[in-house]
């Protein structure tokens, strides 16, 4: 064996034994590695290794990011929540708790708006002014004053989409006197082209925006479709039949709860792959007894009147629901989230759960917080 080693060139062995220099990786390879990172926190640390890695990974091109869980205070529920100067987040992808200092934020933390998904930013309301703060970049910007929300009460952020607000994309707001009783509400969205707010009045708890149209609905109620810029009512879509019946289960048993204890809690509107989904959520006092019916808004009709079509599979998508809103993202195995599932926050205790659509099972998500909600981080 020793004789065989002696036959190899000495310079070849020296090259093999030489320690690899990771700083000399090609820029293209560094970029590919960064795009495969499962968590935004890993991306930030990756860029901090050296100048070469930082210059090869732009902040404007981060890896695909799924939500974190934002810790809520242990006080009783109120529509307008409170954040701590040292706010904690939990990454399901990495299993890590992240603490971020808010010491330099100019907006009072008690003005934070609880109850919606604000991509990359946390939303605050001070008088009629809406401000948005990115806890990772410390970026803060304000929108023009609103007209109605001050004297009607605390506004409730319900949807901003999953694209960065750097682009000043549509911001949809919803304020209800009672989230669960479908009382009169004021909905609004921000028109970035005219730099003004556009308002709607009606009975709805969930809202979303798609292709110039504003959609709003309430449990057991119709979905109204408006032209987002002229405020013209385009369609009134009747709710699915299962929302109006006392037996929405189609013969399927519901885990752990008798059927007569389960009622329709809420209907969500979710934009998923360019279509509108309506998610009807039936449950009682136990989240594990939840049942979800999913419908897709179908437009191809003879008279042009859209209607809801029941679906039983969402493919590689994952749905996220919280207090009054929902959003959809593509699942990836490395992120800790599973495709074809609904991740939701139980309104009774603000705990996270996962519903497997095909298996029909519900389980609590691992999380170190007693109360939490979704936050989609971004740079």
Q: Are strands 341-346 and 317-321 parallel, antiparallel or unpaired?
A: parallel
Cα 135 from Cα 71, distance rounded (Å): 14
17: helix, coil or strand?
helix
pLDDT per residue as tens digits for the range 275-333: 999 999 887 667 777 889 999 999 877 677 899 999 999 999 999 998 777 889 888 77
CB 80 within 8 A of CB 73: no
**Cα-to-chain-centroid distance, residue 304:** 31
| Cβ-based burial of 209 (10 A; exposed 0-12, middle 13-18, buried ≥19) | buried
Structure token pair of residue 315: 């493919």
Using CA atoms, how far residue 2 sits from 8, 95, 163, 326, in Å, is: 11, 49, 62, 67
User: How is domain 68-375 classified at the CATH fold level?
Assistant: Neuraminidase (2.120.10)
Cα 142 from Cα 190, distance rounded (Å): 12
Structure token pair of residue 339: 């495709």
Please tell me the pTM assigned to this model: 0.82
CB 204 within 8 A of CB 218: yes
Task: Please count the helices (runs of H) and the strands (runs of E) in the chain.
Answer: 6, 24
Q: List the one residue out of 174, 265, 172 whose CA is nearest residue 213.
A: 172
Going by C-beta distance under 8 Å and a sequence separation of 6 or more, which residues neighbour residue 122?
A: 83, 112, 132, 133, 134, 135, 375
Cα 14 from Cα 351, distance rounded (Å): 57
283: helix, coil or strand?
strand
Cα 192 from Cα 17, distance rounded (Å): 59
Structure token pair of residue 323: 């207090």
Mean model confidence pLDDT for the chain: 76
295 backbone dihedrals φ, ψ, rounded to 5°: -130, 145
Cα 30 from Cα 137, distance rounded (Å): 23
pLDDT per residue as tens digits for the range 65-112: 889 999 987 665 544 467 888 899 999 888 899 998 887 666 678 778
- H/E element, 130: strand 129-133
Q: What is the pLDDT along the chain (379 residues), one digit of tens a residue?
A: 444 445 445 554 455 545 566 767 788 888 888 877 878 888 888 888 888 888 888 877 787 888 999 998 766 554 446 788 889 999 988 889 999 888 766 667 877 877 666 678 888 877 677 788 888 888 888 888 877 654 444 556 555 555 544 445 566 665 544 444 445 566 777 777 778 888 777 666 788 888 888 888 877 788 989 888 788 899 999 998 877 665 555 544 444 444 445 576 788 899 898 899 999 988 766 777 788 999 999 987 767 789 999 999 999 999 999 877 788 988 877 778 899 999 999 877 889 999 999 998 999 998 999 888 899 888 7
């Amino acid at each position: 064996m020793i004789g065989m080693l002696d036959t190899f060139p000495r310079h070849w062995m020296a090259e093999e034994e030489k320690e690899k220099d990771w700083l000399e990786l090609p820029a293209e390879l560094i970029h590919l590695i960064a795009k495969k990172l499962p968590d935004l926190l890993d991306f930030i640390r990756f860029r901090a290794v050296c100048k070469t890695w930082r210059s090869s990974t732009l902040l404007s091109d981060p890896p695909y990011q799924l939500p974190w869980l934002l810790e809520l205070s242990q006080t009783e529920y109120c529509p307008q929540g409170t954040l701590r100067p040292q706010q904690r987040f939990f990454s399901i992808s990495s299993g890590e708790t992240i603490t971020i200092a808010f010491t330099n934020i100019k907006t009072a933390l008690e003005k934070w708006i609880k109850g919606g998904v604000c991509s990359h930013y946390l939303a605050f309301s001070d008088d009629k002014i809406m401000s948005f703060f990115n806890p990772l970049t410390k970026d803060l910007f304000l929108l023009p004053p609103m007209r109605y929300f001050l004297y009607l009460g605390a506004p409730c952020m319900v949807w901003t989409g999953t694209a960065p607000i750097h682009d000043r994309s549509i911001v949809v707001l919803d304020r209800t006197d009672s989230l669960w009783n479908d009382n009169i509400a004021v909905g609004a969205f921000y028109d970035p082209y005219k730099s003004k707010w556009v308002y709607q009045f009606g009975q709805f708890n969930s809202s979303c925006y798609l292709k110039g149209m504003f959609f709003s609905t309430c449990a057991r109620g119709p979905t109204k479709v408006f032209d987002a810029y002229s405020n013209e009512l385009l369609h009134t879509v009747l709710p699915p039949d299962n929302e109006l019946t006392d037996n929405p289960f189609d013969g399927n048993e519901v885990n752990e709860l008798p059927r007569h204890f389960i009622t329709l809690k809420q209907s969500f509107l979710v934009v998923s792959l360019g279509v509108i989904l309506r998610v009807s959520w039936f449950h009682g006092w136990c989240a594990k007894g939840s049942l979800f019916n999913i419908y897709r808004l179908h437009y191809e009709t003879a008279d042009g009147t859209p209607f809801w079509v029941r679906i039983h599979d969402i493919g590689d998508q994952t749905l996220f629901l919280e207090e009054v809103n929902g959003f959809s993202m593509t699942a990836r195995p490395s992120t800790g989230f599973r495709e074809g599932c609904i991740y939701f926050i139980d309104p009774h205790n603000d705990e996270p759960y996962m519903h497997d659509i095909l298996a029909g099972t519900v389980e609590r998500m691992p999380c170190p917080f007693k109360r939490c909600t979704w936050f989609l981080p971004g740079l």
